[in-house]
Amino acid sequence: MSNLPVINPDTATGEAAAQLAAAGKALGGTPNMVRAMANSPALLKGYLALNGALAGGALPAGVRERLALTVSEANGCSYCLSAHTYIGEHLLKVPAVELEHARHATSEDPHAAALLTLAATVVRERGAVGSEALGAARRAGATDEEIAEVVGHVALNVLTNYFNVLSDIDVDWPVRVLPGRPAAGDR
């Protein structure tokens, strides 16, 4: 059972209704995470703003989904692993092998691998990555803009990971379970 109510967009009122409508337009639907975020319209508004801003950045959608998988694996969020695996595979047509590699911060593409490794290092070291990690990313072709956006995607995904783990909402997509962890709703 969810630790937070999931707000129905059809019966929501006030600012929650406005933010759910904005989410539906921006995301093409209102998954359970968004509906639970509507308990705080300010949180939902902030999530949508950061998500929208980063979607218009330098990193392509397939890389953004793989970054989400890297961070979600590190943070133990089966909701986000499920969502980003589904989106990556079915909407963005990222090869399944690349999605699985992303859970372990690897890729067959050296540039993507460097960005995923950097993201995993940012999570593990809480931002204190050092010049060696930054140099490795740059040697693989990462630009300063991409490096900055990796940090933004880490922050966005930490937000959603922690929110989903805390709220324990039902997963809207085919569930990807973390080894040794129950799926959402089974805790």
Domain boundaries, the chain: 14-55, 61-167
The CA-based dihedral angle spanning residues 110, 111, 115, 121, taken in that order and rounded to the nearest 10 degrees: 40
Residue-wise pLDDT for 156-165, tens only, equals 999 999 999 9
Options 1.10.10.60, 1.10.3720.10, 1.20.1290.10, 3.40.50.2300; which CATH number does 61-167 get? 1.20.1290.10
Residue-wise pLDDT for 62-85, tens only, equals 999 999 999 999 999 999 999 999
> pTM for this structure?
0.89
